[in-house]
Amino acid sequence: MSEDCIFCKIIAKEIPAEILYSDERVTAFRDIEPAAPVHILVIPNKHIPSMNEVEEEDEKLIGHLFTVAKKIAIEEGIAERGYRLTMNVGKEGGQVVFHLHLHLLGGKPLRVHKY
Ligand code: DGP
């Protein structure tokens, strides 16, 4: 737990969020500023600031984020239609909250970004 981290506070239930899933390793909740009809964040319970701080010992945890996202996509009814999983890393990657998180986006045709 990091004292000044908003996502750690959501995990600790110190600030409210619409939590859809939680286990001993990850928590998933709806994004407060949805960019699509379905916009869910899947985060590790362990405070890892970004992908840059991921260690080899975290590989299973990172994999778990993806399998939980897949299960939620099925529950939200968007698995067959398709969805997007993205992770922003660092300032130029568009990361604003420095507690690693996977965005699950779907429920409408998503624009294909040309970088
Ligand atoms: P990123 O740019 O990848 O760091 O995305 C951060 C996302 O976190 C952004 O889509 C908005 C969301 N967010 C920020 N603060 C809160 C909050 O307090 N509650 C919830 N549910 N989402 C938040």
99 CA → ligand 1 middle, Å: 10
Tell whether ligand 1 has an atom less than 6 A from the beta carbon of residue 29.
Answer: yes
- Going by pLDDT thresholds of 50, 70 and 90, the confidence category of residue 3 is confident
51-54, long-range: CB < 8 A, 24+ apart: 51/87, 51/89, 51/100, 52/89, 52/90, 53/100, 54/100
Q: What is the homologous superfamily of the domain 6-106 according to CATH?
A: HIT-like (3.30.428.10)
Protein residue with least CA distance to atom 19, ligand 1: 32
- Residues involved in catalysis: 101
Tell whether ligand 1 has an atom less than 6 A from the beta carbon of residue 32.
Answer: yes
Domain positions in the chain:
6-106
**Whole-model pTM above 0.95?**
yes
pLDDT value at position 79?
98
